[in-house]
Amino acid sequence: MVDIVFLVLAFFAVGGGLGMILFAQPMYSAMSLIVCLIALGGVFALLSAPFLFMVQIILYAGAIVTLLLFIVMFLNIKKEDLPDEPNKIITIVAGAVLLIPFNIMILKAFSTFPEKSMYILGDGFGAINDFGIELFRGWLVPFELISMLLLAALVGAVVYARKEKPNG
Amino acid sequence: MADSLLSYIALAMILFSIGFLGIISRKNIFIVYMSIELMFNAVNLIFIALGRYNESMQPQVIALIIIAIAAAEAAVFLSLIVVLYRRKKSLNSDIFTVLSQKDAAHE
Amino acid sequence: MSNFLLAFIVLVPFVSATILGIMYLYSIKISKVPNFVFTLFGLSAPIISFAVGFSFFLKMIVNDEIILYKAYRWLSVDAYDIDMGFMADQLSIFMVLFITFVGGLIHIYATGYMKDDEGYGKFFFYFNLFLGSMLLLVLADSPIIMFIGWEGVGVCSYFLISYYYEDSENVKAGNKAFIANRVGDLGFIIAMVTMFYYAGANGLDYINLEAGLVNLPIDLLTFIGLALFVGAIGKSAQIPLYVWLPDAMAGPTPVSALIHAATMVTAGVYMVARFHFLYDMIPNVGLFIAYIGAFSALFAAIIATKQTDIKKILAYSTMSQLGYMFIAVGLGAYSVGIFHVFTHAFFKALLFMGAGAVIVALHHEQNIFKMGGMKDKTPLVFYTMLIATLAITGIPPFAGFFSKDEILLTAFSSEHYLLWGIGVVTAILTAYYMFRMIFIVFFGQNYKKERTIHFVPNSMLMPLVVLAIGAVLAGFIGIPEVLGGHNLVGEWLSNWHLDSLHVTHKTEILLMGGNILAAFIGIFIAYKKFYMYDMKDVAEPQGIIWNKFYIDEIYDRFIIQRTKALSIFISYKIDVNIIDKIVMGLSNSFIKSGHFVARMQNANTRFYAFTMLLGISVISTYLIIVMR
């Protein structure tokens, strides 16, 4: 049962990814990306990380990609603005071939891990309680630093996107 | 299938590869950005899988932090795209070569 | 230490040459040096060398020994040690004596001939350099040292022939001499190397080579002997390498006198005599040498009968007389050949110097058909040249009679009648063309009586007199027993003397008479044709003989042009097309690959990412294979 769920989710993730890189229009790619992200969220849930499942949906699919879509529509992209991409397919195929050894290497490394069950764990793992405990116990400092980072990003985005002064 | 670490890792690797392929093959700056985000997600998946494997919460925290960083990066990246689009009126990532030596010599 | 004086003979001319050279450079760069300083150094060299050589000669008469002196170890390679060594035996001291004596007289002559020339110091530098090289050649104790002198005289011959270098024809003549010599030198080198390889186990000087050569097979000895003779052909202007000698007359007359009459050209004869221990073992090669000499003598004499340039007549005459010398040494009568070298030096130098005097007197005119009546204008020159001509034609009691007669006697008595016949015919021709020259130059009527005679200085006339005396007396040291004399030359060069003469005294006397008769036949024909020659109605000379049998043209067409075409082919086709393509192609490929690599830095981030992917892929494949 869990297997089937996993397979379906994996199918959507990979399909979304492929769609994302193959579509010419950024809008369609963004849609594919959302599909992929939500499927990934599902996989997170399968891995006993329910909180992260929700964070993924809220933050990634709900905020980041939304921001992306907002910018796409803000820039008013028409068909003519899109750049020419003649060698798309051939580069993808060549890159895929070149990536195979890398993948094989990583997978071989991971296949040496001893077998362990990956099924969903029960209490004490992955719930928001445990997550909060872990976050605010060991990872407080990074937590605060992240907030500063977000502030910097905010300021940077505002500065960049200002209207330019007309002094040439 | 869902029981082994390897399948999750395989899924993550496939997604990572797809993201990488997107970077090298697409010229449209938006697609490039989305590919980068996909690669982030693949890494997140690996972290969480390993967290479940070792029954530790720490990788999940790391994953959250990564998501937060990705958000910050999104803001900056997208505002940069706006600025560059205003300058060059084009979404082709290949034309932004000002920092290269070839162009610097011309200017 | 007294043996060091042996090296001194060779050293003095070289040192003098160095001093002269430095002084000459000084005189053209800084301030002029007066001529008499050059004369002082230039003349002192042959005089000192003659004095030292004469003292050795006396010593050898008293002690009857061979004097050796090893100066220092020159080269030491593997098992071969070559010393700079000098050897004075009867043969070399004999050569030293007349080289320095005649050479000294020619030096004196040159002070008068070259006195108005700007390069006076340079001339004596070359002259002394030549003298030193020639002395090194004859006093060497090993073929290698002799080769140094051999090359030295060749180089000096080139310098001196091209002395009037502003005219490119003279330089071409010098080149021709050097290159023809070079062809001969190749034979010499091959022979020398073969000798060293097979016979040089104990040492590379003549004494040890002689010991080493006795055991070698005849084929090898024949090869060595022939190759050595090739060197002699080049140096002594025999067929086929004689073509440089007539052109060499482009040099100043003292050069022709010294180098191409008395000394350098005789180096080939000396070499055959020096290697008598080799040629004694291969009489077939000796016979070949004798025939080459005979044909060269005949050939040259025929050409000389039609020449109009006074110096060229004498040049061909030299080649002809050299042929006689080779007949003698080819048949094993080395002492006879050297004797002819000795007498020839006197009368040929005299002839050249007299010709030079005539040329100077007539303002550098060299065509005999534009001369005439010099008998009354320059009587001293006339009488001395007459003596020399009588000597060369073989009229007794002048020098040439005795030496030429012995050569013909050797040919007859060793039953090579063809050689003897050619020698006699050549003697007739010699008499003919020499007296043709005398009659036209000194007795003819076709010069303009108003033409003034340029003054001939005493420094040019005095050596003529001395040499004339020599031409008269020189023969007397070789009077054969049949006439009641002691063959002093034969006794002195007893190692090189051929004792096996099978003819009776009566035959000898008959042969002598025959030679005199031959000479008078030639003189008579010349007299009939040329005594009171009036050249007003003579045609331009032409014909095969006048054109020297077109040998030069044949050489040019078949050898020189082919070689030139080959070298052009190699330089353009092979060098430019093939080798340049390879070498430049190599460097160009590096440049192109540099450009290719430079294109990778194109500021295209995607391309960089792709390249990173490439690298990762390669590394992963490697790791996969390694970690299997």
Instruction: State the architecture of B5-106 in CATH terms.
Output: Orthogonal Bundle (1.10)
On whether the CB atoms of residues B23 and C606 are closer than 8 A, the answer is yes
Distance from C-alpha of C446 to C-alpha of C438, rounded to nearest angstrom: 14
How does the average pLDDT of chain A come out, rounded? 87
Arithmetic mean of pLDDT, B17-35: 91
Distance from C-alpha of B7 to C-alpha of A51, rounded to nearest angstrom: 22
Distance from C-alpha of C412 to C-alpha of C563, rounded to nearest angstrom: 43
C-beta atoms surrounding C622 within 10 Å: 12
Write down the pLDDT at residue A8. Answer: 94
| Chain C residue numbers touching B27 (CB-CB < 8 A) | 606
Question: CB distance C627–A108 less than 8 Å?
Answer: yes
Question: CB distance C624–A98 less than 8 Å?
Answer: no
Domain that includes residue A89, residue range: 2-126
Distance from C-alpha of C433 to C-alpha of C437, rounded to nearest angstrom: 6
| Chain C residue numbers touching B101 (CB-CB < 8 A) | 601, 603
Distance from C-alpha of C546 to C-alpha of C540, rounded to nearest angstrom: 10
Distance (Å) from the alpha carbon of C620 to chain A's nearest alpha carbon: 5
Give residue-wise pLDDT tens across range A11-65: 999 999 999 999 888 899 999 999 999 999 999 998 888 899 999 999 999 999 9
User: Which of the pair, C214 or A108, is modelled with greater confidence?
Assistant: A108
Question: CB distance B93–C613 less than 8 Å?
Answer: no
Arithmetic mean of pLDDT, C357-381: 77
| Chain A residue numbers touching B23 (CB-CB < 8 A) | none
**Same domain, residue pair A118 and A138:** no
Distance of CA B26 to the CA centre of its chain: 13
- Does this model's pTM top 0.90? My answer is no
On whether the CB atoms of residues C45 and C28 are closer than 8 A, the answer is no
What is the rounded end-to-end Cα distance, in angstroms, of chain A? 65
- Which amino acid belongs to residue C152? G
Residue C68 is classified by DSSP as E
Number of domains in chain A: 2
Distance (Å) from the alpha carbon of A160 to chain B's nearest alpha carbon: 6
The tokens 């076709």 sit on which residue?
A: C446
Q: What Rg, from alpha-carbon coordinates, does chain A have?
A: 21
Distance from C-alpha of C460 to C-alpha of C106, rounded to nearest angstrom: 9
Write down the pLDDT at residue C490. Answer: 65
Q: Which residues 586-625 of C are in CB contact (within 8 Å) with A?
A: 610, 613-614, 616-617, 620-621, 623-624
Question: CB distance B103–C605 less than 8 Å?
Answer: no
Selecting from A91, A102, A104 the residue whose C-beta is nearest the C-beta of C616 gives A102
C-beta atoms surrounding C14 within 10 Å: 18
| Chain C residue numbers touching A100 (CB-CB < 8 A) | 617
Question: CB distance A47–B61 less than 8 Å?
Answer: no
CATH number at residue A88: 1.20.120.1200
Distance (Å) from the alpha carbon of A109 to chain C's nearest alpha carbon: 10
On whether the CB atoms of residues A27 and A69 are closer than 8 A, the answer is yes
**Same domain, residue pair A13 and A72:** yes
A104 in contact with C, Cβ within 8 Å: yes
A99 in contact with B, Cβ within 8 Å: yes
**Same domain, residue pair A107 and A28:** yes
Question: CB distance B97–C613 less than 8 Å?
Answer: no
C-beta atoms surrounding C564 within 10 Å: 11
Confidence tier at B20 by pLDDT (50, 70, 90): very high
Give residue-wise pLDDT tens across range C21-57: 888 888 888 877 777 888 888 888 889 989 988 888 8
How does the average pLDDT of chain C come out, rounded? 82
Give residue-wise pLDDT tens across range C144-183: 889 999 999 999 989 998 888 888 888 888 888 888 888 8
What ipTM describes this predicted complex? Answer: 0.89
- Name the residue of chain C whose CA is nearest to A107's CA: C624
pLDDT(C213) > 90: no
Distance from C-alpha of C379 to C-alpha of C385, rounded to nearest angstrom: 10
Domain assignments of chain B as residue spans, ordered by start: 5-106
Residue of C617, C619, C622, C626 to mutate, interface with A, max A Cβ within 10 Å: C617
| Chain A residue numbers touching B55 (CB-CB < 8 A) | 121, 125
User: Which of the pair, C504 or C96, is modelled with greater confidence?
Assistant: C96
**Same domain, residue pair A121 and A150:** no
